[in-house]
Amino acid sequence: MSALGHVVLVGLPGSGKSTVAPILAGRLGRGLVDTDADVEKRLGMSVERVFSELGEARFRAEERHTAEAALNSSEPLVIAAGGGLIAQRGAIEILERHATLVCLDADDAHLVDRLGGDGAVRPLLAGSPHESLRHLRAVRSAAHSHAHVHIRTDGRTPEEVADRVAAALSGSVRVATAHPYLVRVGAGVLDSVAEQVPPTARRVAVIADEAVSTVAEHLASRLRLADVTVTVMAIPGGEDAKRWSVAGALLERCSDAGLERDDCIVAVGGGTVGDLAGLVAATYLRGIAWVVVPTTLLAMVDSAVGGKTGVNLRRGKNLAGVFWQPCAVLCDPTVLETVSQRSFRSAFAEIVKSSMVGGSDLTELVERRLHAGLERDPDALVELVRGCCELKAGVVAGDERESGRRAILNYGHTVGHAVEVLTGLGAGLDHGEAVAFGMRVAGALSIVESGCPTADIAHQDELLDACGLTERPRLAPDEIAGHLGLDKKARGGVARWVLLRRRGEPVMGIVVEPTAVIRALTQAGVA
Ligand SMILES: NC(=O)c1ccc[n+]([C@@H]2O[C@H](COP(=O)([O-])OP(=O)(O)OC[C@H]3O[C@@H](n4cnc5c(N)ncnc54)[C@H](O)[C@@H]3O)[C@@H](O)[C@H]2O)c1
């Protein structure tokens, strides 16, 4: 099964599911199931006759049986779902869990036209098709909003629609959380922002780092083309943005802009603006949809995926926040052209971290593409972003709220967060630099505490050196050690460490003697 699972086309009658599905199946090299056609074949009569002779209930049962059989297939398929399937109780939840849902849509006038005008013969459109469509749209819009991608079909040929769907899916990573979502990676993906915002959203607040105002304006113009009312809220990025008061001011601005429950926030910036805007999305009206557009490499390879949102408190990093998954993440490496060399390089701490805790595929990818990535080679960056997102997607899907394995992603962060705070949030070592130092400490501890081969840690440190991540904090070891108990993962004031048994085999929840911590800090070379 491919990472995206089955692709299911949903949408109102006339949206083009049955026409587009075979073309898409050809583009993707997949088998095809059309639930209506399958039912017609099995019962030997048209859908209209099934409705009139056997009744709608029988049709729905047959339709559901077909869909379940298709979803159980081990071969990834393109499935054209009969329009009423998603309206069946529990169906949308099953579909979104097992498949990537693509919703096709067009104006009612187009739909009626495609169905043959006012003489439309579809059973559910008998009488006045315009009236019936309006009713169906209202009834099914909640289910359609679960789709992972929304493609307009008005003014496009079926081939063009299939191309758009294929482009949306190619190279995307699926994060299979309770409400799964896609991470789209590639040059130009920002042009498709309207395809990722829930169709119910009439207003969008673009919360953007001032440093990327052109990116924010580009997104706003694409959304306006889709008839969405957009308010751009620019704020200075950086660690100072991650404050409760800034979140509060943004909440007031969302309220002033008239955002409602079905509306959406688009977060545009690095990890700081992402964490902050995510918290705003999670708390505004008790939670509205949000899309993340990361604009630093660090945000692309780490913070944009996984739904951790939050702000800092005086005593530490990220001490207030919630888990709130986005509905999509759009990573366009071309926005990285303006990122400072320091920020760019810092992201490699998270890339090296991912390769230390992840599987062999990612290790191999990082070894192969690290140097080209450091040179900002666009293809290498796409591969590295995708590889790191795949690791994170897999870990997060199994442990959305970090009650277990997700903690492996905190390798290097126990010391990293302490160092960020102690050197002055936003003024001293930045997140990546601090995590790189934290990995050196965790590496040294791994050799002693969890038997990690020395060569694995020596190699980790060489990779960090190759990335230019050689900063050491000007702090005394006991000063850092004294701060570790404030970490979110600490219990009873005692830090719980993520260490390595070997590269690719992390262990969590390790308690380490204070003297051993001081030794490791000294060995890692506090300045
Ligand atoms: N939520 C998570 O899972 C998670 C994971 C890792 C890190 N984080 C958080 O992420 C933050 C670090 O993120 P970051 O490194 O992206 O920092 P950042 O958001 O501060 O961005 C770094 C700097 O780059 C600027 N910038 C952003 N995009 C730019 C662009 N395209 N061109 C030019 N300048 C640009 C910003 O204004 C800022 O000055 C930390 O607060 C960390 O705690 C969160």
CATH topology identical between 181-339 and 341-527: no
Q: What are the pLDDT digits (tens) for 416-430?
A: 999 999 998 777 899
Token couple for 61: 């049962």
Mean pLDDT of the 337-348 span: 97
Mean pLDDT of the 139-161 span: 94
Residues β-bridged to residue 103: 10, 150
pLDDT of residue 98: 87
CA angle 313, 319, 320 (to 5 degrees): 90
pLDDT of residue 117: 64
Residue 392 annotated among the catalytic residues of the structure: yes
CA 467 to centroid of chain Cα atoms:
26
- H or E element at residue 31: strand 31-34
Give, using CA atoms, the residue closest to atom 7 of ligand 1: 303
Q: What is the CATH architecture assignment of 341-527?
A: Up-down Bundle (1.20)
Q: Which of 515, 440, 447, 520 is nearest to 472 (CA)?
A: 440
Tell how far the Cα of 432 is from the centroid of ligand 1, in angstroms: 10
Give the predicted TM-score (pTM) of the model: 0.93
Using a 6 Å CB cutoff, which residues line ligand 1?
Answer: 209, 211-212, 237-239, 242, 269-273, 275, 295-296, 298-299, 302-303, 306, 308, 317-318, 335, 338-339, 343, 346, 431
Which ligand 1 atom is the nearest neighbour of the CA of 346? 15
State the pLDDT confidence band at 1, using cuts at 50, 70 and 90: very low
Token couple for 505: 């085999």
CA distances from 449 to 266, 442, 445, 519, 522 (A): 43, 10, 6, 12, 16
Highest mean pLDDT among 57-61, 372-376, 475-479: 372-376
Q: How many residues does the chain have?
A: 527
**End-to-end Cα distance, the chain:** 50
Give, using CA atoms, the residue closest to atom 39 of ligand 1: 238
Residue 436 has pLDDT above 80, yes or no: yes
Full DSSP string of 443-488: HHHHHHHS---HHHHHHHHHHHHHTT-----SS-HHHHHHHGGGST
Mean pLDDT of the 51-55 span: 92
pLDDT of residue 131: 86
Q: What are the pLDDT digits (tens) for 81-110?
A: 988 888 888 888 889 888 999 999 999 989
Mean pLDDT of the 336-358 span: 97
State the pLDDT confidence band at 123, using cuts at 50, 70 and 90: low
Mean pLDDT of the 483-505 span: 88
Which ligand 1 atom is the nearest neighbour of the CA of 336? 31
Residue 138 has pLDDT above 70, yes or no: yes
Set 308, 353, 369, 483: catalytic member: 308
Residue 243 annotated among the catalytic residues of the structure: no
CATH code for the part of the protein at 6-170: 3.40.50.300
**Residue % of the chain over a pLDDT of 70:** 97
Give, using CA atoms, the residue closest to atom 27 of ligand 1: 270
Give, using CA atoms, the residue closest to atom 34 of ligand 1: 339
Q: What are the pLDDT digits (tens) for 225-276?
A: 999 999 999 999 999 999 999 999 999 999 999 999 999 999 999 999 999 9
Domain map of the chain by residue range?
A: 6-170, 181-339, 341-527
Residue 459 annotated among the catalytic residues of the structure: no
Q: What are the pLDDT digits (tens) for 282-305?
A: 999 999 999 999 999 999 999 999
pLDDT of residue 122: 66
Residue 163 has pLDDT above 70, yes or no: yes
Strands (E), 242-346: 264-269, 289-294, 311-313, 316-320, 328-331
| Three-state SS sequence of 152-221 | ECCCCCHHHHHHHHHHHHCCCEEECCCCCEEEEECCCHHHHHHHHCCCCCCEEEEEEEHHHHHHHHHHHH
Residue 114 has pLDDT above 90, yes or no: no
Q: What are the pLDDT digits (tens) for 372-383?
A: 999 999 999 999
- Name the 3-class secondary structure at 224: helix
* Phi and psi, residue 355, nearest 5°: -75, -20
Mean pLDDT of the chain: 93
* Phi and psi, residue 35, nearest 5°: -65, -40
Q: What are the pLDDT digits (tens) for 175-204?
A: 999 999 999 999 999 999 999 999 999 999
Query: How many CA atoms lie less than 13 Å away from 267 in the CB half-sphere?
Result: 35
- H or E element at residue 144: helix 129-144
- H or E element at residue 499: strand 497-502
Mutate to test the pocket of ligand 1, among 275, 319, 409, 413 (most ligand atoms within 8 A of CB): 275
Mean pLDDT of the 165-171 span: 94
Class of domain 181-339: alpha beta
pLDDT of residue 297: 98
Mutate to test the pocket of ligand 1, among 217, 309, 431, 489 (most ligand atoms within 8 A of CB): 431
Report the C-alpha gap between 242 and 247 in whole angstroms.
8
Give, using CA atoms, the residue closest to atom 44 of ligand 1: 303
Residue 500 has pLDDT above 50, yes or no: yes
Residue 431 annotated among the catalytic residues of the structure: yes
